[in-house]
Chain A
Amino acid sequence: MQNSDIDLVNIQFQLNGKPIRLSVRPFDSALAVIRDEIGLTGTKEGCGIGECGACTILVDGKAITACLMLAPQLDGREVQTIEGVAEGDTLHPVQQALLAHGAVQCGFCTPGMVMSAKGLLEANSHPTREEIADALAGNLCRCTGYVQIVDAIEELAGSPRANEAVKR
């Protein structure tokens, strides 16, 4: 498709703490722009219709599925993807907890799981197991490793590191 006959939309937003400015096709999803235009491929496309949660990102701190967001709707928002959660070589507490619990199998769902867990902990630093399961219910893991994932977040939520997870 030629871009010359399309009215591109100029947008600017904060991506992983840095300002970004670009022109997007009005009908593309935020997911397509993040992966294909910006090149951050940690956010995965699973179903493309909002059912699997693999493309979960945080927009103004809230977990959303990037496949259901129009790219121009990113304008003015504060966006965080999986690439923005670790600090250098230091993994985010949620990532560390998942590793410690063997909660990563094939890994395809993991970026979305991390973002959903991060969104939960930012709103509620000490969730119950039920609240964790509810917050992650929109993320499918086809390796069915749910128990370890919920265990990991539950232990993190019950530890002093929960507050650290919130700050970052």
Chain B
Amino acid sequence: MRSRFRYYRPTSLSEALDFLALHGTDTAIVAGGTDLMISARSGDLQCKYVLDVSRLNELRPVAMSDGLLAIGSAVTHAEIAAHPVTRDVAPVLAKAASCVGSTQIRNMGTIGGNIANASPAADTIPPLMVHNAKIVVKSASGERVEYLGDFVRGPYVTILKPGELITHVLLEPMMSGYRHSFQRIARRRALSIARMNVAALGLVDGNGVIQDLRLSVGSVTPRPCRMTVAEDVLTSNKPDKKVFWEAAEKVSHEMVRWSGIRPTTEYKKPAVEGLVYRALADLFLSEG
């Protein structure tokens, strides 16, 4: 049976935070609804109130601020994919946002919702990780800022407390000269949840040596992380197929180290290696 709840739509951020201060433990937050409506339909959603933050202007900016890209939590995937600022300084995030769900889902779903839901397969999380994203959380009593890798504690688990609201994310902009790639594997191109996804940023110096490499792989570890073991293999080397495969194997070892051998490991291992290879080849061997 459908979950039953009351609906409340605040007109300002402070009103939203005041509401959460009073009713935080009994309240679910909705913006795009693409996750909440599914649990409401099945009856799994248990709450007294649903707080609609989708129209709060305070949660809608996309702008550079003090050298960081600030994206409001209620900005939709479609807006991130199309926005000139995200396309300029976070193209790997814009690309990932353009791969989420379908046109309809991208017009509804928000980046804040993607983070708060904390699905291991969330398409925006690997790009945020390679941008060293921080999550800004507010409550009636103040504000805290957490790295995304610390904010998400496991599949569908975050450190967001009752009474708190994600207001925006802060990304280090991609510096000039960097290349970027986002790759995913899914059963169907549209709508399917990614089985795996990869975001990578890389910088090659004048001698053709990799100066900086940032790699994050979704759905293979319980928490978002950077694949530092693979990044280390690549940094200070020249990009070539051999070193790409070496890095890809480091990622699959890392997956097994975190998750152990599972029935699916035999399939996932070559898949994740191939996906990482594809991202690295796209990063360094393709034009542009």
Q: Which residues of A approach B to under 8 Å, CB–CB? A: 6-7, 9, 26-29, 48-51, 53, 56, 62-65, 67-70, 72-73, 75, 116, 119-120, 134-135, 137-139
Count chain B residues whose beta carbon lies closer than 8 angstroms to a beta carbon of A. 29
Are A134's CB and B103's CB within 8 A?
Answer: yes
Are B102's CB and A53's CB within 8 A?
Answer: yes
Tally of contacts, chain A with chain B, CB under 8 A: 89
Are B30's CB and A70's CB within 8 A?
Answer: yes
Are B104's CB and A56's CB within 8 A?
Answer: yes
Are A51's CB and B191's CB within 8 A?
Answer: yes
Q: Mark B55-83, 1 if CB is under 8 A from A, else 0.
A: 00000000000000000000000100000
Whole-angstrom distance from the CB of B25 to the nearest CB of chain A? Answer: 19
**Residue B40 at the A interface, CB < 8 A?**
yes
Residue contacts A-B, CB under 8 angstroms, 26 given: A6-B4, A7-B6, A26-B6, A26-B7, A27-B2, A27-B7, A48-B41, A49-B37, A49-B41, A50-B38, A50-B105, A56-B104, A62-B78, A65-B105, A65-B108, A68-B32, A68-B104, A70-B7, A70-B52, A72-B7, A72-B9, A72-B52, A73-B54, A137-B189, A137-B190, A138-B103
**Residue B33 at the A interface, CB < 8 A?**
yes
**Residue B3 at the A interface, CB < 8 A?**
yes
A53/B104 contact (C-beta < 8 A), A70-B33, A72-B52, A73-B33 known: yes
Q: When A and B form their complex, which 10 residue pairs have the shortest distance between CB atoms, in order from nearest?
A: A138-B102, A137-B190, A26-B7, A68-B37, A62-B107, A65-B104, A72-B7, A138-B104, A68-B33, A49-B38
Q: Which residues of B approach A to under 8 Å, CB–CB? A: 2-7, 9, 30, 32-34, 37-38, 40-41, 50, 52, 54, 78, 101-105, 107-108, 189-191
